Structure 1
Amino acid sequence: MVGTRIGQWLSLLACIVLLLKAEGYFVEITYVENAVAKGAVCLDGSPPAYHLDKGFGDGINNWLIQIEGGGWCNNATSCLSRKKTRLGSSKQMVKQLAFHGILSNDPQFNPDFYNWNRIKVRYCDGSSFTGDVEEVDSATNLYYRGARVFNAIMEELLAKGMKNAQNAIISGTSAGGLASILHCDRFRSLLPASAKVKCLSDGGYFINVKDVSGAPHIEQFYAQVVATHGSAKNLPASCTSRLSPGMCFFPQYVVSEIRAPIFLLNSPYDSWQIRNILAPAVADPHGLWHSCKLNIKNCSPDQLITMQGFRNDFLKAISVVSDSPLVGMFIDSCYVHAQIGKWLRNDSPLLANTTIAQAVGDWYYERKPFKQIDCAYPCNPTCHNRVYGPNDNPEV
């Protein structure tokens, strides 16, 4: 009897240890203090920040950058609302951040990248690291310097050994995923020509479509972001030579010109895009979409038809690179936004019987190509569709 209980306790303890490993461990923050003199600062003028867990063993010259997400601000009012939060000030950031998933140092949960130098770049500029306005408005004391922040952090990491990289990935989630697309070739150019350098966007492929009222809501919003932050000069020239700068904030007009290999992890039912691009509050004054946006199971047949139309628009937007051998894809049918946190966990969605972690690892190391597009919702039983609370995910 006692032996049975001891065995049960040991099994429980083993499960707890496994769960704690899966949920990650904490890494201290690093402030780039010398960036302030260069004007490379967060919205409030505080220094940029990142978290670094050093590589070891045969991963000592391999580097993985993960850029934090957090939306954008499109004018002084919305940027001021971020100024006293972690999305606008490094003073408000936690001093320790949990590393898990693609940032884990445990080979059981991150077999391909566990011993790389793993960096989480904190996001505090509201422009996906594209802004650079010299003047500081005395009325707001806001600094629009995202591009300088990106450069300052990269300079520090290069000095810490990234200049000797043999393998490297720049990745990001949501607005960070967009940054990994917009800065993909720039990151490639910073590293040795002999290095294997690739890019990974998680939930960062935001598309240009009209909302349910027929208005170009997201197109106007992005144009305002670019104008407010002075982003035009830091967007890919291959796009701005053809289109207005605001249009070049959309991956669909940029990605076909990217020279470095890139992996797109996204859903064509991206819950953030459904909530903010397809059916933003401004386009739904009577709240007819409110319940549907909280839980896809609440959507009416007509709303599901509209969402299937959005899926078609998304697939058309990624079709510009669907035949490229440089591009990998994990395009599932889950109602979610940003999925890299699932990684190798038991609840990772599957495509071709493959987890997100396996797909990215196979693609990066060229064990086999991975380019899978799921069938239409609700066909994938491995999806765990997001259910939002009424106060989750503020509208843009």
Structure 2
Amino acid sequence: MKCFLWALGFLSPLLAGCARGFGHLNLTEVAFGGQKITGRPPLFVPLTLIQSAAAKGAVCIDGSLPGYHLHRGYGAGANSWIVQLEGGGWCNDINTCLYRKKSRRGSSYYMEKQLPFIGILSNKPEENPNFYNWNRVKIRYCDGASFLGEGYNGVAGLFFRGQRIWLAAMEELMSMGMRHANQALLTGCSAGGLATIHHCDGFQALFSGNTKVKCLADAGLFLDAVDVAGRRTLRSFFGGVVNLHGVAGNLPQTCISRLNPTLCFFPQNVISTVNTPLFLLNTAYDVWQQLQESLATKQADPHGYWEECKMNNAKCNAGQIQFLQGFRNEMLNVVKSFLTSPKNGLFINSCFAHCQSERQDTWFGSNSPTIRNQGIAKSVGDWYFDRCWVKEIDCPYPCDSTCHHLVKRKKRHPPSLL
């Protein structure tokens, strides 16, 4: 190999060359996935509904057809495919699923008819140098359980058919030429990143041995961590998702045979058993998991001690930063065995962010986040094309001056679903 990129940040508290300081990006001032769009306008790709899905019972929570956005590749990328699984949280009980049923996360009736393809889906070589001319697909997320559920609640009229949606989408794409791919990459962010990990080996099984198949999970490494009140908020939440949606039957048997289904829903308990080459792109201080929905929820922090820190990492006090450093250490312990496999890749930076492959400013740009001058898009490309082993772990916050931290402003109206 021409290079070997491996910065073990957890072995050294401060790597050489790390500069102190940080910048912030205001979420209320940006568009298209939380970012300003500069340069040429993005490509907008129309929604296609999977007409064959209804006969298979592969429907959204409300019974509507699932869908995807596809932009065809060309030239050298005409026979290569990226399949991105959309993220957007989960619903863990009847009430939250009923709410989701009336949104784009539970019904194709509410989905955007066109979406901008940016970041890893961009069609511009200056924005996406490794994959711009591939066939690029975004599969919409409307089942509420990371494309893994199998069930139906007749009383509430809720369909839990995530696994069927996954299979119906794969069947349609294979019929459209993906079965002949010479290169394929499955990716997704957040709930889509978790789904990518669980479906990675199944994705590889679709192809012959002649296809180069890998998977990229962005912000999908959700941890079974203890929150600020000493409880396991996310374990309780995921337990509701697994039980309500009937997820257990679609989780890997290698995990189910030794752990309960809820624990097997957590990626940390399955990443080392995934046979397909897998790349984990994550922040050590994920703003969704750490501060908003897992470690410092309103239930865990009823007096609002963490409120300012949740809105702006620069307002976290020393005790809060110490708590978050403990979360980072837990993440690094989780990936230790994952790192031992030469086929896997890793990029964990010390930013307060979420979903870095879907944002143009973090994926590939003149000031995108880096670890030792290595950006995210280049790291993923080097790993996918076997140019390098990429196992990058950043030094602890606040040493990284390249981060695009997300600052959340309070809104006067109810927030939309994640």
TM tier, shorter chain? over 0.9
- Correspondent of 2:109 among 84, 91, 108: 91
For residues 326 and 217 of structure 1, the distance between their equivalents in structure 2, rounded to whole angstroms, comes to 33
Asked whether the 8 Å contact 1:252–1:320 carries over to 2, the reply is no
SS at 1:183 equivalent: helix
SS at 2:377 equivalent: helix
**TM score, norm. by length of structure 1:** 0.92
- Indicate the residue corresponding to 2:398 in structure 1: 378
**TM score, norm. by length of structure 2:** 0.88
- Indicate the residue corresponding to 1:64 in structure 2: 82
Asked whether the 8 Å contact 1:165–1:192 carries over to 2, the reply is no
SS at 1:50 equivalent: strand
Asked whether the 8 Å contact 1:73–1:79 carries over to 2, the reply is yes
- Indicate the residue corresponding to 1:9 in structure 2: none
Distance 1:395 1:64, change over 3 A: closer
For residues 389 and 289 of structure 1, the distance between their equivalents in structure 2, rounded to whole angstroms, comes to 14
Deviation of 1:300 after TM superposition, in Å, equals 1.2
Aligned AA for 1:312?
N
Asked whether the 8 Å contact 1:48–1:124 carries over to 2, the reply is yes
Distance 1:164 1:176, change over 3 A: same
Deviations 1:241-296 (A, max 9, x none): 11101111111100000000011110111111112211111100101001101101
- Indicate the residue corresponding to 1:152 in structure 2: 168
Asked whether the 8 Å contact 2:184–2:212 carries over to 1, the reply is yes
Deviation of 1:394 after TM superposition, in Å, equals 7.7
Aligned AA for 1:269?
Y
Greater Rg, structure 1 or structure 2?
Answer: 1
Deviation of 1:223 after TM superposition, in Å, equals 1.1
Asked whether the 8 Å contact 2:70–2:136 carries over to 1, the reply is yes
Equivalence map 1:337-352=2 (5 Å): 337-340=354-357, 341=359, 342-352=362-372
- Indicate the residue corresponding to 1:264 in structure 2: 280
Matched, 1:283 2:300: yes
Comparing 385-394 with 324-333, which one deviates more in the overlay?
A: 385-394
Aligned AA for 2:244?
T
- Correspondent of 2:138 among 93, 110, 120: 120
Distance 1:126 1:319, change over 3 A: same
Equivalence map 1:65-84=2 (5 Å): 65-84=83-102
Deviations 1:180-208 (A, max 9, x none): 10100000001121110000011110001
Deviations 1:312-349 (A, max 9, x none): 11111222302211211110000111111121122310
Aligned length: 376
- Indicate the residue corresponding to 1:10 in structure 2: none
Structure 2 gap segments, 5+ residues each: 1-36
For residues 386 and 104 of structure 2, the distance between their equivalents in structure 1, rounded to whole angstroms, comes to 37
Matched, 1:100 2:106: no
Deviation of 1:385 after TM superposition, in Å, equals 1.0
Equivalence map 1:1-396=2 (5 Å): 19-21=38-40, 24-133=42-151, 135-137=152-154, 139-275=155-291, 276-340=293-357, 341=359, 342-391=362-411
Asked whether the 8 Å contact 2:105–2:417 carries over to 1, the reply is no
Cα RMSD, aligned residues only: 1.5
For residues 384 and 343 of structure 1, the distance between their equivalents in structure 2, rounded to whole angstroms, comes to 11
Deviations 1:86-140 (A, max 9, x none): 000011011111001111111121121111100011100110000011x442x31
Aligned AA for 1:385?
H
Asked whether the 8 Å contact 2:88–2:417 carries over to 1, the reply is no
- Structure with more strand by fraction: 2
Asked whether the 8 Å contact 1:347–1:384 carries over to 2, the reply is no
Deviations 1:28-59 (A, max 9, x none): 11000110111100000000100000111121
Deviations 1:361-386 (A, max 9, x none): 00000111111100000000001211
Deviation of 1:218 after TM superposition, in Å, equals 0.8
Higher relative contact order (CA 8 A, sep 6+): 2
Distance 1:395 1:167, change over 3 A: closer
Distance 1:102 1:355, change over 3 A: same
SS at 2:366 equivalent: coil
For residues 75 and 394 of structure 1, the distance between their equivalents in structure 2, rounded to whole angstroms, comes to 18
Structure 1 gap segments, 5+ residues each: 1-17
Percent identity, aligned pairs only, is: 49
